[in-house]
Structures are given as structure tokens and as C-alpha cells.
A and B are shown apart, each in its own frame.
Chain A
């Protein structure tokens, strides 16, 4: 297992377009998390899954954002009608459980630029 994979690494899109990012967690990990990070700030929690169930969504997550994790494996994060304020690094992480002895493993992120 090579860790958490995110695709694409970079995405440039025009304002108003829809974009979708994919995250492949470590195969035996039950939990999957999405974060957003802007320049100079720490990662900001967006949502997380326990297997296929989405357990929590941040209040900061607008209705234009949706995430899925079908069959409890990979996950997708879709942003509809993108805005310039959506430009950020989108990070995915996975873990075995809530307090994983080995910590959480993050992917390298998808950098979104909305022009």
C-alpha cells in the first residue's frame, strides 16, 4: 500500500464550472476525512466518513460541496459552480479508527485554482 492517493494533483478551472476530486485511502482504513487549506493557514475540517456513512459535515461547507464514499472505499469531493474563494489545497486523510494508534495518514492534496 502506497498510502493515501489524491487525484488530480492540480486543477485549474473557470469560475462557475464543476470539479470533482478523488481520494483513495489506505485500504484497511475505515475513516476518511476531507480538509481544505488556504495559504498560511492550518487545514480546515470539511467532512468525514466512517466506512460509507458520512458522519459529520462542517458548517462552513456550503451546499455547493458534496462528498461521497460509495462502498466505503474511495471518496469523491465535488464542488459545483466554483467560485474564486474555493481556490485552496484540498487534503484527504484516512485512519483505522477515531484514535488510531498509528495516527492519520494524509495525501499530498489537490490544489484547486479558480480563475
Chain B
């Protein structure tokens, strides 16, 4: 039970921002929100994670709703190399990632 809900797929044009939504309405106060992505024929790659505050790193930004029931991963300028499956995961204190089906991001030149 992944306990998060994501759209199956999203399309974007190259060099435009991509906003990937995730719903985690049953999240508990101590669960982290993690995002990973998986390129074809590779293992998942860590993107970003957060607890309550918005987070930025070199790959992306994570915007977390005030009630923590949803979050949005933001890729500021999509490139063709960003085409991948993106997974939003709740991580509890036991620290075991449980993946859902993720969102397939398609980037069009």
C-alpha cells in the first residue's frame, strides 16, 4: 500500500516547468515525503525529500501543502533527460520506501 496518489502520466515541452502533484491525505505528522525518479533500465534515483517546509536542491523544488496532505514536485526547466517515472513516497520512521506506480513524465522537444 503506497498510500500516495499520483497521475499516471504528464507531458511537458522542453525548457518549460513541470509540476507533478501527489496526494497523501492520510500522512502522519512524522512521515517524510520523498521523491525518486527512474530512468529506463536504471535503478531509482533520489530527487528530494521534505517534512513540512518547502525544499530546494539542484534537481528540483518540493512544495508541501500547509496541511501536508499533498505536495508538488517542481522541475523548473524540463530537459529531455528528465523523461522518467517519478515516484512520490511517504517514508515513516521505520524507513522503508514503498513505491506506487508513479507518474510517467514525457518531455517533448
| Chain A residues with a Cβ under 8 A of chain B | 4, 31, 33, 35, 41-45, 48, 56, 91, 93, 95, 97-100, 102-109
Cβ distance B59 to chain A, nearest Cβ, rounded Å? 11
4 further A-B contacts with Cβ under 8 Å, apart from A42-B101, A98-B95, are: A42-B87, A42-B99, A56-B96, A100-B95
Chain B residue with the shortest CB-CB distance to A3: B43
Does B46 contact A105, Cβ atoms closer than 8 Å? yes
Question: How far, in angstroms, from A97 to B32 measured CA to CA in the complex?
Answer: 13
Does B44 contact A106, Cβ atoms closer than 8 Å? yes
Question: How far, in angstroms, from A91 to B42 measured CA to CA in the complex?
Answer: 9
Does A107 contact B32, Cβ atoms closer than 8 Å? no
The prevalent SS among residues of B at the interface is: loop
B91 at the interface (CB under 8 A from A): yes
Cβ distance B88 to chain A, nearest Cβ, rounded Å? 11
Count of B residues near A, CB < 8 Å? 24
Cβ distance B83 to chain A, nearest Cβ, rounded Å? 16
Does B93 contact A104, Cβ atoms closer than 8 Å? no
CB contacts (< 8 Å) of B96 on chain A: these are 33, 45, 48, 56
Chain B residue with the shortest CB-CB distance to A91: B43
Set B49, B99, B100: member contacting A103, Cβ < 8 A: B49
The answer to whether A91 and B44 touch (CB under 8 A), given A41-B101, A42-B2, A103-B49, is yes
A-B contact pairs, 12 of them (CB 8 A): A42-B102, A43-B44, A43-B97, A45-B96, A45-B97, A56-B94, A95-B95, A98-B91, A98-B95, A103-B34, A104-B46, A105-B46
Question: How far, in angstroms, from A106 to B99 measured CA to CA in the complex?
Answer: 13
The answer to whether A108 and B43 touch (CB under 8 A), given A42-B2, A99-B93, is yes
Question: How far, in angstroms, from A107 to B94 measured CA to CA in the complex?
Answer: 21
Set A102, A104, A107, A108: member contacting B97, Cβ < 8 A: A104
Question: How far, in angstroms, from A92 to B104 measured CA to CA in the complex?
Answer: 22
CB contacts (< 8 Å) of A93 on chain B: these are 43-44, 97
Question: How far, in angstroms, from A42 to B6 measured CA to CA in the complex?
Answer: 13
Does A99 contact B46, Cβ atoms closer than 8 Å? no
